[in-house]
Structure 1
Amino acid sequence: MAASLQTILLTGARPGEVLSIKWEDINLRWRGLTIKDKVEGNRTIPLTPYLSQIIQALPKKSEWVFSGAGGRPISSPNHALSAVGQIVGIDGLTLHGLRRSFRSLTEWLEVPAGVVAQIMGHKPSATAEKHYTIRPLDLLRVHHEKIEEWILEQAALSFQPVPALKLLA
């Protein structure tokens, strides 16, 4: 449950998109995460260092990354999120609120809006974005890793990334 909630916050993905991630959607070699997108079908976003370690530490019970009892995918981490909200003193904390938080927190880093929209799976809002702007995975990674690093810093979470070569092993 905790891993799925952190994934929603650190990717800005829709809760249903996160809960439908399968092991085959994770590419450790190219550090990418393919998400079944409700808008475009699929989108591939960077698999950031902290998120990569969280996911790799999960047991492989089934084809689903976030699986519960019997290997079935988690249906909804709402109850877990409510408990977290009570512990930290945030009333009304929602799964979609985690997604909104990702977007809001990127403002502190002045990440280009188009980069954030592409990571989150929003449709491009301007003609130039739709037809002229191409952002490969490595360009998204530059910004997404800064976002993750800053969120972890604000949460006072100490994290030392594993060197990329070890991720391939």
Structure 2
Amino acid sequence: MPPYATYVLSALLRTNAWVFASPSSVQGIQAKAVSLPHKAHDRACTVAGIEGLTLHGLRRSFKSLTEWLGIPAGVVAHLMGHKPSATAEKHYTVRPLDLLRIHHERIKAWMLEQAGVTFDATKGATLLRAVA
């Protein structure tokens, strides 16, 4: 995860063990975790005064904005969780996690720059940990 995303997520108020908690969720193993993120997204958009922005719209924007940086389309598709579509992508292209990380960090740095956000990754303490 890029350092800025880690920083933002670690600063969120916690009500339970989940990063995105839901006091009303009761779905099996996911109990008390957000399972339908569009509701929280809609509330955040309302608070921010943004109309018509969907989660899918955010994905389309991510894909479109990566073209400004010349990020290879296959890398962007991989970052977005898409399966390889071409034969060469399926059988001959190997992308190590470190390669994806480099491109993801370039994308994040450019987006923060465009938004005028100053962030020093060396000062962003992380409180997040991986759970199994």
User: One fold, TM greater than 0.5?
Assistant: yes
| Native 8 Å contact 1:50 1:161 kept in 2 | yes
Match among 4, 10, 29 for residue 56 of structure 1: 10
Residue 83 (structure 1) aligned with residue 46 (structure 2): yes
Deviation digits for residues 111-143 of structure 1 (CA, Å, limit 9, x no counterpart): 001111111011112111101111111110110
Q: Which runs of 5+ in 2 are unaligned?
A: 25-30, 128-132
Structure with the bigger percentage of strand: 1
CA separation in 1, counterparts of 2:58 and 2:67?
A: 15
The AA in structure 2 aligned to 1:79 is D
Amino acid at match of 1:58: L
Q: 1:110 aligns with which of 53, 59, 70?
A: 70
Cα RMSD (Å): 2.6
Does structure 1 residue 123 correspond to structure 2 residue 83?
Answer: yes
Range with greater deviation from structure 2 (67-76 or 137-146) = 67-76
Name which one, 1 or 2, has greater alpha-carbon Rg. Answer: 2
* TM-score, normalising length: structure 2: 0.76
Give the conservation status (yes or no) of the 8 Å contact 1:78–1:95.
Answer: yes
Query: Match of 1:52, as an amino acid?
Result: T
Which residues of structure 1 form unaligned runs of 5+? 1-46
Q: 2:76 is aligned with what amino acid? A: V
Identical residues among aligned pairs (%): 54
Kindly provide the amino acid, as one letter, of the partner of residue 67 in structure 2. Answer: E
Normalising by structure 1, what TM-score? 0.61
